[in-house]
Every structure is written in structure tokens, then in C-alpha cells.
Chain A
Amino acid sequence: MIEFSPMISVEGVIYAGAIGLVAIGALGLVLCSHLFRMLLALEIAESGANLLLVLTGFRGDSVAPIIGYGPAGAPMVDPLPQVLVLTAIVIGVGVQAMAASMLIRIYRTYGTLEMAELRRRMELDTAAAAGIPAPTSAQAPAGGRPLPPVPAFRPTHAARVRES
């Protein structure tokens, strides 16, 4: 293990980096309003978590866990977390692919990926489908006012709102 100082080691830096990645992902999920940015923040958080899991197997001055790779009797890195992380990466990829396909579908229907706008439209659609008056908000204080026409997408059934 290369020591830059008695306090900092390579291991410590990478641990800090992994936790930092998770923190960046968390901040991104909370602060971003655009769905795709939230998805990217999620990916960063998952990368950080995977890195942290691999790090738990790291030993300084070790070689890769393959028999015959290093000198006989050399300490090896713990292979179990590496196997676990492979599984976790694949799970992450699957989930992200699913999210991306949902984003495409949402964009095609609603024409936007801004979370606030999407939540408002979803509430309106759900309320319209259930037959209850839409929740009032600053944009629609009378509840159920028709949406302003947006030229980029085709009108959906959300455009049919009840009279308040």
C-alpha cells in the first residue's frame, strides 16, 4: 500500500470516492427536476455502491484472485465481493434499461421530461380517469382548466377535462 502520508492511503481515497459517488447520486436524485438527469444520478449512485462493495475485498499488496497469477503464497484480493458486484452491475443495467424505455414512452406521450410538469399531468390524468375534480394548484386554480396547447406532441385524453 503506497502511503502518501500517515493519514491518507490509496484505500482511504477510493473509499471516500465511492461514498462520494453515492452522495452525488443522492443529491442528484433529490435536486434534479429532469427525469433523465435523475436517471443518470441513479446510475452514479449505483456505481458508487458497486465500487464500495468491491473495495471491501481489497487488501493492499495483493494480486488478482487467480491461481498461478502471482508468486506462490502471495495474498489475493477477496473474490467474493467481485462476484457479488458482477451480479449487482447486471441488475443495475437491467433496471436502467427499463427506466430508459419508460422515459421514451413518457416523452412520446407527454412531450416533456420535467418531473414537476409530469407529476401535474399525471395527477390530472388520474383525476380525469377517476372522475374526480383535479387537485387545484397555482397553474390551475379553478381546477380542471384546459391545458395550453403545446405544438410538439399529439393531444392525449388528458386534454379532455371536466368543467369545474
Chain B
Amino acid sequence: MNQIVLPVVLPLLAAFLMQPLARVSGLLARVLGPLVLGLSALILVRLWLDFGEAPFTVAIGGFAPPLGIVFYADHLALMFALAVPVFTLLFWPGLGEGELDPDRRARRDALVLLLAASCTGLALSGDLFNIYVFYELAAVATFGLATLTGTARSQVATVRYLLISAFGSALALVGISILYMLTGTLNLGHLAQLAPHTLQGPLGLASFALMLIGFGVKAELFPLNAWVPEVYATAPARVSALLAGLVSKLAVLVVVRLLVLVFHQPEPAQLLMVLGLLSILTGELAAWRAKDFPRMIAFSSIGQLGIVFIAFSISGDAGLLAGIAVALHHLIVKSALFGLAARWNGSLDALAGAARRAPLAAGLYVLFALSLIGVPPLPGFWAKLLVLVGLAQGGSTLQLFALISVLLVTAVEASYLFRVAVRLYGQSDSPPAPPARWDLGAAAALGAVLIGVTLTTAPVADHLRNVAHQAGNAALYVDTVFPKTVAQKD
């Protein structure tokens, strides 16, 4: 059980050992990164398989909460913690893409390992400031990775991302200060106990709004997503895959934990729904107008994350289930699409005839497009259906408006995704280069996962229902972190 810290600790250790190791032995440095992440994945798979029904916690250093930091592992946390090493291995930036000198390769691998360690920590941590530190660490790793190409335009895009992200983090810190001022604790379990008494007023809502601004930068929430199209267009495609797929989901996970455990009032959910609505509308309409492939899927990812936020703003287990379904689906599909976009990064017109040279890639693109739009029986259909049903059952004007928007946006999605599909299968004298083998392999693996989920929808849905039910159970969280006795605020 204590092994749960290893997926955070081992990549951190390996990241800092990477550069000295590269001077000593190039082969070892090349192999260490994927080896450590493979080990993390194995540990997490074993923990997942041995997971009973009850979540467990690990007090770091033996210091008991609420003063110490706990790692809380329930189904949801383990699922996302497992996704981190798997997707990082699938989309390791720069792997197999030509020779860098050992120093640069070591630096790149160190950044990737830092990203993996901090993302795993984000999924597992149960202390708000610990989450903040991991979030900043992930941010710094992504700043470094986004500038991997070395071009000046990537530096401009990343510096803009850095300014927005760091300012959001300053505001999140203000929100955390307000929380600490009102409750005297930063442990999520303890906050869950104290929230009904202390966080009801406008200061509590202000702290949620500030933290939402902070964590919403990576979650591509409107209006903090101005950095998204520029960074995704100028960063290497695999880095965009990791950012859009993995990091954004973990930022959403943090917001969800806050919503479920600490902020039970209706106003935070309404704020989330309004911002999600604006994300959807701006993102998908911008995607419709985009002229090159990476930016098109970047805007599309803003839109899909808007759907995720709308789903999580529906109260109760239905909202959690819908949100988790859409988030997992987006994780799989969007990462794969960015993998395909590595070589297909020209204008949309230049994609003509790509199916002739890369039939598997074009077929995978059509599969992912159908799933994104929500064509049955693909998982994307079920995920969107859950969102629509949850919104319809809510019934308030805002939710009905969100329902109409999601349907409208689906039509827009179909339009721009099929435009590209038609072009892929069109005629051309100069089709673009096919995707590299590793990218194609990663996309094919994710496509296989998608088809697998299509064939086993019912068991997967039941499992996700359990996950959502467990994640939404704030009382279970508190009882797991503070067994038997109720901690008093000192």
C-alpha cells in the first residue's frame, strides 16, 4: 500500500539523476526514463488489480492528517494515476525522432519525468498545498517541453502561456490563503468536514472562483485558454498530446475534488456551467474556422473540455459519471489525434490524398472523428448521451440552454471533422508524409482501446458508475482520511 508513493518518487529521483547519468553512460540515461515509468505503471496496475472496495490513504512520512500530507487512492485517483505513465510512455516527446546529443536528450527526459511525477502527485494528493506544488511543477515541466523545438515562435507562445499560468497560480494562492484564513487547514478531508460551517458566505465562493482561475488555466477553461491554440501549434505534437490529453484532465480532476468535497453550494456549479458553455461555443466555432490541423484539434479540445465542465457541474452521481466518461474519452481520442497530427501539421488543404499513403492513419482518424462527434455505438456517443440526459434531468433554464448548445456544437464538430475526412480520402498529386511509426502505433493502440470499450460498453459503464459513486461520496473520503475519530480544528 505504501507503494503508492513510488510512482511519484521514482520519476522525481530519476529526473534529477538523469543529467549526471548521461555523462557517465549514455545507454543507461536513454533507457532510465522509460524504465522508471514502466515500473510506475506496473506498480499502479498491481495496486489497481488488488484494489478492493474501500479507498485507502497513505500518510507521507508517517505524519497523520490534518497536519501531515496524505495520498488518497480511490478508483478515480488510481485510474488517472495509471493513465499518467501509460500515456507518457505512448507519447514520449522526441522518442525515436532522431539523434540529439546526450545532454539535450537527458534534459528532455528529465522534463518528461518531472511531468509524469507531478501529474501522478496531482491525481493522488489529498492536501491542497501539495496539489498546488505539484501543479506548479507540472507547469514548469510543460514550459520546458513546449519549447523543445527551439524555434522562436514556440518561445513566444510559451512565454504567453507562462504569464497566464503564473498569474492564475498567484490567484489560486490567494484563494488558498482565503481558505486557510476561514478554516485553518489545507487538508482536503478536514476541509470537507469544516466546509458546511465556514465556507458558506461570499468569501468561500470567492476562494473557489480564484482557485478555479488558477487550476482552470491548464484545464483550458474560458477565458484562460488564450494560450491553447498558439502553444499547441508551435509545440511538438507529442507534447501537445500530453498537454491536451493528460495534464488538462488532471487539472479538471483537482477542480472536481474541490467541488465534491469542499464547495457544496450551487453557485460554484453554476459558475462552472457558464464557463463551460462559453468554452464550448468559442472553442468549437473557432475550430470550424481553423486552417491547419493542429490548431483545429486544439480548438476542438477547448470545446470538449467545456463539455467536461458542463458535465461535472451537474449535481450528483449522474454528473460525475458523465464527466468522467467524457474526460476519459477525450483523453484517449485527443491524444491519438495529436499523435496523428505530428506529420500532418500543414494546412488542411495539404492533407488531401493522405489516405493513399497512410490508410491506417486515415481510418483511425475517421474512427476518432466519429467517436468525438458521438456516433453510436462508439464510446463518445455514450459519454455525450450521459451529459445530455443529465442536463435534461436537471431542467433549469441554464441546463436546458447548455443542452441546446451541446447539440448545436455537435453539428459544428461534425462539419469540420468530416471536412478533413473528405479531404483525406480525396485525390492529390502530393499527399503529405504518413505519420511516423511510433505515433501511428500509439494512435492504433488507442484506437484498439476505443474499439475494445465499444465491444464491452456495459461492464465499462458499470465500473465507471462505481468509480463515480465512490468519488462523489464525500463522507467516505472523510472517514477514510480520519478513521474512527473526528479531528478537531485546533
Tell me the A residues contacting B by CB distance below 8 Å.
22, 25-26, 29, 35, 38-39, 42, 45-46, 48-50, 52-53, 55-56, 80-81, 84, 87-88, 91-92, 94-96, 98-99, 102-103, 105-106, 109-110, 115, 118-119, 121-122, 125-126, 129-132, 156
Closest beta carbon of chain B to A55's beta carbon, Å? 8
A102 touches B171 (CB 8 A): no
Q: Which residues of B contact A98 (CB under 8 A)?
A: 140, 143-144, 162
Q: Which residues of A contact B169 (CB under 8 A)?
A: 91
B152 touches A130 (CB 8 A): no
A49 touches B136 (CB 8 A): no
Q: Which residues of A contact B345 (CB under 8 A)?
A: 130
Alpha-carbon separation in the docked complex, A139 to B158 (Å): 24
B166 touches A46 (CB 8 A): yes
Q: Which residues of B contact A26 (CB under 8 A)?
A: 167
B158 touches A84 (CB 8 A): no
Contact of B181 (CB < 8 Å), options: A56, A118, A132: A56
Q: Which residues of B contact A22 (CB under 8 A)?
A: 170-171, 174
Q: How many residues of B contact A (CB 8 A)?
A: 42
B180 at the interface (CB under 8 A from A): yes
Residue of B nearest to A100 (CB): B159
Alpha-carbon separation in the docked complex, A22 to B168 (Å): 11
A105 touches B170 (CB 8 A): no
Within B128-186, which residues are at the interface with A (CB < 8 Å)?
129, 132-133, 136, 139-140, 143-144, 147, 151-153, 155-160, 162-163, 166-167, 169-171, 173-174, 176-177, 180-181, 186
Given contacts A39-B163, A106-B152, contact A53 B177 (CB under 8 A): yes
B155 touches A105 (CB 8 A): yes
B133 touches A91 (CB 8 A): yes
Alpha-carbon separation in the docked complex, A96 to B230 (Å): 21
Dominant SS among interface residues on chain A: helix
Q: Which residues of B contact A25 (CB under 8 A)?
A: 167, 170
B177 touches A105 (CB 8 A): no
Q: Which residues of B contact A45 (CB under 8 A)?
A: 167, 170
Q: Which residues of A contact B162 (CB under 8 A)?
A: 95, 98-99, 102
Contact of A121 (CB < 8 Å), options: B129, B136, B143, B156: B156
Q: Which residues of A contact B177 (CB under 8 A)?
A: 49, 52-53, 55-56, 81
Closest beta carbon of chain B to A137's beta carbon, Å? 15
A81 touches B151 (CB 8 A): no
Known: A25-B170, A48-B174, A52-B177. 17 other contacts (CB 8 A): A22-B170, A29-B163, A29-B167, A42-B163, A45-B167, A81-B177, A91-B133, A95-B143, A99-B166, A102-B159, A103-B159, A106-B152, A130-B233, A130-B292, A130-B345, A130-B347, A132-B349
A42 touches B166 (CB 8 A): yes
A126 touches B153 (CB 8 A): yes
Q: Which residues of B contact A130 (CB under 8 A)?
A: 233, 291-292, 345-347
Alpha-carbon separation in the docked complex, A99 to B169 (Å): 15
Contact of A125 (CB < 8 Å), options: B139, B153, B171: B153
A99 touches B159 (CB 8 A): yes
Closest beta carbon of chain B to A17's beta carbon, Å? 13
B174 touches A49 (CB 8 A): yes
A131 touches B347 (CB 8 A): yes
Given contacts A99-B159, A121-B156, A130-B345, contact A42 B292 (CB under 8 A): no
Closest beta carbon of chain B to A144's beta carbon, Å? 13
B234 at the interface (CB under 8 A from A): yes
B350 at the interface (CB under 8 A from A): yes
Contact of B234 (CB < 8 Å), options: A94, A115, A126: A126
A119 touches B156 (CB 8 A): yes
- A-B pairs, 5 with minimum CB distance: A109-B152, A132-B347, A49-B173, A49-B170, A125-B153
Alpha-carbon separation in the docked complex, A111 to B129 (Å): 40
Given contacts A49-B173, A52-B177, A56-B180, contact A102 B155 (CB under 8 A): yes
Closest beta carbon of chain A to B306's beta carbon, Å? 24
A106 touches B156 (CB 8 A): yes
Closest beta carbon of chain B to A29's beta carbon, Å? 6
Q: Which residues of B contact A129 (CB under 8 A)?
A: 153
Alpha-carbon separation in the docked complex, A88 to B186 (Å): 15
A122 touches B234 (CB 8 A): yes
Q: Which residues of B contact A106 (CB under 8 A)?
A: 152, 155-156, 159
B163 touches A38 (CB 8 A): yes
Alpha-carbon separation in the docked complex, A22 to B152 (Å): 30
Q: Which residues of A contact B176 (CB under 8 A)?
A: 53
Alpha-carbon separation in the docked complex, A155 to B345 (Å): 24
A46 touches B133 (CB 8 A): no
B140 touches A102 (CB 8 A): no
B167 touches A42 (CB 8 A): yes
Alpha-carbon separation in the docked complex, A4 to B162 (Å): 42
Residue of B nearest to A56 (CB): B181
Q: Mark B88-105, 1 if CB is under 8 A from A, else 0.
A: 000000000000000000
10 contacts between A and B (CB under 8 A): A22-B170, A52-B173, A84-B129, A94-B140, A122-B153, A122-B234, A126-B153, A126-B234, A130-B347, A132-B347
Q: Which residues of A contact B170 (CB under 8 A)?
A: 22, 25, 42, 45-46, 48-49
Q: Which residues of A contact B347 (CB under 8 A)?
A: 130-132
Within B291-320, which residues are at the interface with A (CB < 8 Å)?
291-292
Alpha-carbon separation in the docked complex, A92 to B133 (Å): 11
Within B417-448, which residues are at the interface with A (CB < 8 Å)?
none
Q: Which residues of B contact A87 (CB under 8 A)?
A: 129, 133
Residue of B nearest to A53 (CB): B177
